[in-house]
Structure 1
Amino acid sequence: MAAFVLERFIPDSPETVFDLSLDVDLHLASQSSRGERAVAGVTSGRLGEGDQVTWSARHFGIRFRMSSIVFDVDRPHRFRDRQTRGPFASFAHTHEFLPADGGTLMRDTIEFRSPFGPLGRLVDVLFMRRHLIAVITERNDAISARFS
């Protein structure tokens, strides 16, 4: 399984950053370059424990759908989401919000595996890891922009 961790300091409280991280509308705005839409489940507003959403977006010139569920919600410390249906063999995202001097350290831990066994592992190393880092960084940029 491939994985990476991204961290970002946000100059506001963990509660505020936590809530923004669950906002469907902010997520959609952050992924507008990919034509992302929420097409099923919770399609606007704030996600909560057990909520499901299906995203549709263009990656590598191909439109994909990915359904995910939000779980393990512990406001304002952390929540998790994982793919329930979609292009990955496995995809899980842990969001953590750690109090820091003057704000919040937001930590994203992504664990993923592309399908197709050894070929998928090669894709993960050569392309997918870099692509997913860019996707999460864009989302984090949108959250940070709210505090500029």
Structure 2
Amino acid sequence: MEKPYHFTDTMLEGAFKSMKHQHIFKVKKEDTLMVDIFEFESPLGIIGKMFSKFFLKSYLRKFLLQRNELIRKAAEGSL
């Protein structure tokens, strides 16, 4: 963590073979830009890679976008 500019979540145990989620905050004029970098690797070898390619990657992208929109609304007081 480099407060208030950056922090990273790293999975120690769970459903993924590996998972790392970086949150980077940048000042843009009077606003704050949040950049998410989400890296993951599915278990189960080739089957997991195929599942990630055809389903999981798209699902996780939509999930993060929806979650970030809720965070933005809460931060701006418009929830």
Instruction: Choose between structure 1 and 2: higher helix proportion.
Output: 2
1:136 Cα shift?
1.0
Aligned to 1:140: 68
Q: TM-score, normalised by structure 1?
A: 0.49
In percent, how many aligned pairs have the same letter? Answer: 33
CA RMSD of aligned residues (A): 0.9
Aligned to 1:101: 29
2:34 is equivalent to residue 119 of structure 1: no
Q: TM-score, normalised by structure 2?
A: 0.89
Q: Which runs of 5+ in 2 are unaligned?
A: none
Over residues 34-85 of structure 1, what are the superposed CA-to-partner deviations in whole Å (9 max), with x where a residue is unaligned? xxxxxxxxxxxxxxxxxxxxxxxxxxxxxxxxxxxxxxx1111100001111
**Aligned residue among 124, 128, 134 for 2:56:** 128
The runs of at least 4 consecutive aligned structure 1 residues that moved more than 3 Å come to: none
Would you say how many aligned residue pairs link Structure 1 and Structure 2?
76
**Aligned residue among 110, 115, 129 for 2:38:** 110
Say which structure, 1 or 2, has more relative contact order (CA 8 Å, 6+ apart): 1
